[in-house]
A and B are shown apart, each in its own frame.
Chain A
Amino acid sequence: AQRVTQPEKLLSVFKGAPVELKCNYSYSGSPELFWYVQYSRQRLQLLLRHISRESIKGFTADLNKGETSFHLKKPFAQEEDSAMYYCAPPPAPDYKLSFGAGTTVTVRA
């Protein structure tokens, strides 16, 4: 079964400090992973996906097949980054999306 693990439920950092959210996956096949974000009172939305290899809002995520990880990183956290972040495995081939437990990030001034 496709599965991801987010070991940290809560993460608190100061503004301007680096932030890293951990995600480990444990399934075979192409690991086309996603990070979704849910800001307060906003809808859940895609932040970035592995396959696009882009940086969104200063965040990047590198797939490490050796460590089976897809950690999300930002070198300088901002207060507007405070949100709930979910790592998710690909929905294919059965179209289901099962989220990790989520990590709540709080960026303090």
Chain B
Amino acid sequence: DAMVIQNPRYQVTQFGKPVTLSCSQTLNHNVMYWYQQKSSQAPKLLFHYYDKDFNNEADTPDNFQSRRPNTSFCFLDIRSPGLGDAAMYLCATSRGARGSAYEQYFGPGTRLTVT
């Protein structure tokens, strides 16, 4: 009963070649997040959507973009991947009702390799 699905699980791309990672959810949650997690480090938030409202973290490079065409899907686009972008990318969702602290549900992640 996968609730947050990420495809592909493993992605290899070439230096500078655009790549898109996808995430889908069956929870009907308002909020979707993208995190970057490098080896032995905590996940780092890149951006999130509350419904269609996009919220970018101040230190997220312009190289990273996101799209959320509907409630269920969210995409992470890396326009020109560099070697330093090799990481695990995690998608997460939460209910996001204002004034409440809801848990996040994470996908299994996509491991990106840049050659």
Contacts and interface: CB of A to CB of B under 8 A. Distances in A.
Is A bound to B?
yes
A99 B42 contact: yes
B33 A97 contact: yes
Given A90-B101, A92-B98, A97 B45 contact: yes
Nearest to A90: B101
Main SS of the interface on chain A? loop
Contacts of A36: 104
Given A43-B106, A92-B100, A93-B99, A101 B42 contact: yes
A104 B40 CA distance: 9
Contacts of B106: 43-45
Interface of A: 30, 32, 34, 36, 42-46, 49, 51, 86, 90-102, 104
